[in-house]
């Protein structure tokens, strides 16, 4: 096993986690109408990138609404 690569693997996983948390946070803010104009623009651009992104937001919306 190459021990020199293990720290980079951990760092990459950490960065991916931070990105997922940020994306989730901005999507939640979007659903609750708490985004800035720039964030709304970013979310709309993200939604236009793929059907998968649209489905992700739809799933998050249905999950959140079931807890309210």
C-alpha to C-alpha distance for 63 and 6, rounded to whole angstroms: 35
C-alpha to C-alpha distance for 16 and 4, rounded to whole angstroms: 20
pTM to 2 decimals? 0.64
Q: What is the pLDDT of residue 18?
A: 67
Q: In the predicted model, what is the mean pLDDT of residues 4-10?
A: 68
pLDDT tens digits along 26-62: 888 999 899 999 999 999 999 999 999 999 999 989 9
Q: What is the pLDDT of residue 63?
A: 86
Which is more confident, 13 or 43? Answer: 43
Instruction: Give the DSSP H/E element, type plus range, for residue 38.
Output: helix 37-49
């Amino acid at each position: 096993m190459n021990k020199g690569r293990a720290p980079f693997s951990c760092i990459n996983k950490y960065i991916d986690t931070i990105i997922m948390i940020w994306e989730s946070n901005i999507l939640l803010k979007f659903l609750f109408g708490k985004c800035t104009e720039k964030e709304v623009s970013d979310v709309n651009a993200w939604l236009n990138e793929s059907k998968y992104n649209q489905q992700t937001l739809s799933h998050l919306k249905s999950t959140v609404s079931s807890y309210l």
